Amino acid sequence: MKFGIFYELQLPRPWGELSEFNLLQDALTQIELADRLGFDYAWCVEHHFLEEYSHCSAPEVFLGAASQRTRRIRLGHGIIQLPTNHPIRVAERVATLDLLSGGRVELGLGEGQGPVELHPFGARVREKREVWEEAVRALVPAFTRQRHEWDGTHFKFPARNVLPKPFQKPHPPLWVACSNIQTIANAGRWGMGALGFQFVSPDAARAWVNRYYIELTQHQARLTDYPANPNIAMVSGFMCAETDEEALEKAAGWTFFVFCLSHYGRHGIPNPGEGNMWDAYQAWRHTEKAQQTLRSGLIGSPATIRARLREFEATGVDQVILLNQAGRTSHDDICRSLELFAREVMPEFHARETEHARWKADVLAGRIAISDEGADTYTLYAHQNEDIVRLTPEQLKAKMAAKERV
């Protein structure tokens, strides 16, 4: 099993003059530390306008800085929003980052959160899946073709040689953001890595890992010509400390993350620049739901976290991405947590990576038969799913059409 770290670049109010400066500098120091400690990936989101929850609107700039302070850790876009970015600009920026990093980029692609993020860019929620699929088809050939043109529904451009070309050939591995069960199956069918939140249970993880590989091996239908990237990564709230009690005390940032994700999904931003998510969060943080959220993460002593990781390792999950930078979790606590995990937990799972790679090779070659029996019984993808509005493309279209009829 491999391990990553995850950045929303959260910044609860109140803000001072240097708050965002310090946030970025601390995050870069943490990634530099993770690189030295042997972590495998550093992932960075793209969000717009989501005050306090994510101040990461230019991930290509942030990861570019990280590329010059690290040597081996892979740098992941988790994800780039395709409905708010032109495919040519995505290709140019990703290739530049890949060159700067010496070929360490992982390219995650997603649709965007909803009206709050999409509407200011002229993008419509109901079309975001269609735009995403077309953007993938328009984007990927730009990495390799000397002459590339596109005449589609949402994008049109004349023949050009998009420069520069990436360091990795043919291009960085492709991932897709998975916010619900169906998207995990789609990821397998599209031949992309699945990038999403922690499964609700090890049993659910096993069922949906199997479904992913069945789609990948038996029903693969890639959107265009690219190498398959058979990988499943899950993001989990994280805090490693000497005792479970200490870890739980320091991990409140994870509940702030879940609270904000739910709040913005349900309510949007009625008064930009005037809200206070940290104040709104205070009542919820002491509820049983918040405590359940804490218990669901990889939060505890090294022994506790090892036990939980072994359960997910057994399901075939390839990578666990640790979300440590959340809420008001301090820079010092984040660094100490990473150091303790790297010393006491990570080596055991890294040591079995060869064994996992062998299992995956056998699955892909058909030497191991897998079953997707039971996958459809797991309607919740992750612990926080019931608190977040997640609609299929068809449901989104119906909802927006109903609004127009009112």
What average pLDDT does range 259-276 have in this prediction?
Answer: 91
What is the Cα–Cα distance from 313 to 349, expressed in whole angstroms? 8
Q: CA 225: distance to chain centroid?
A: 23
Single-letter amino acid code for the residue at 244: D
pTM of the model: 0.94
pLDDT of residue 26: 98
In sequence order, which residues have a C-beta less than 8 Å from that of residue 83 and are 6 or more positions away? 111, 112, 118, 121, 123, 127, 128, 131, 132, 135
Report pLDDT for 394.
Answer: 67
> What are the Cα distances from residue 176, in Å, to 32, 64, 87, 231, 371?
26, 21, 15, 10, 23
Instruction: Determine the pLDDT at residue 265.
Output: 85
Phi-psi region of 339 (alpha: psi -120 to 50; beta: other; left: phi over 0): alpha
Nearest Cα to Cα of residue 308 among 291, 322, 327: 322
How far apart, in whole angstroms, are the C-alpha atoms of residue 150 and residue 79?
Answer: 23
Distance CA 10, CA 21 (A): 12
SS3 at position 44: strand
pLDDT beyond 90 at 311? yes
State the average pLDDT over residues 124-140. 97
Residue owning tokens 């002229």: 122
> All domains of the chain, ordered by start, with CATH?
2-405 (3.20.20.30)
How far is it, in rounded angstroms, from Cα 86 to Cα 94? 12
**Reported confidence tier of residue 54, pLDDT bands at 50, 70, 90:** very high
Under the banding of pLDDT at 50, 70 and 90, the label for residue 340 is very high
Summarize pLDDT for 74-128 with one digit per residue, the tens.
999 999 999 999 999 999 999 999 999 999 999 999 999 889 999 999 999 999 9
Give the three-class secondary structure for 93. helix
| pLDDT higher than threshold 60 for residue 382 | yes
CA angle 206, 338, 309 (to 5 degrees): 20
| ∠ Cα 266 272 274 (to 5°) | 105
Confidence label for 397 from pLDDT (cuts 50, 70 and 90): low
Token duo for residue 183 = 């998207």
Q: What are the structure tokens assigned to 157, written together?
A: 């451009």
Q: Return the pLDDT at 387.
A: 54
Does residue 172 contact residue 67 with C-beta atoms inside 8 Å? no
Each residue's pLDDT tens digit, 144-164 = 999 999 999 999 999 999 999
pLDDT for 385 beyond 80: no
The CA distance from 59 to 61, in Å, is: 5
* pLDDT reported for residue 113: 81
Q: CA–CA separation, 7 vs 405, rounded Å?
A: 40
Closest CA to 73 of 308, 299, 342: 342
pLDDT of residue 312: 94
Taking the C-alpha atoms of residue 200 and residue 383, their distance in angstroms, rounded to an integer, is 5
298 vs 292: CA distance, rounded Å: 12
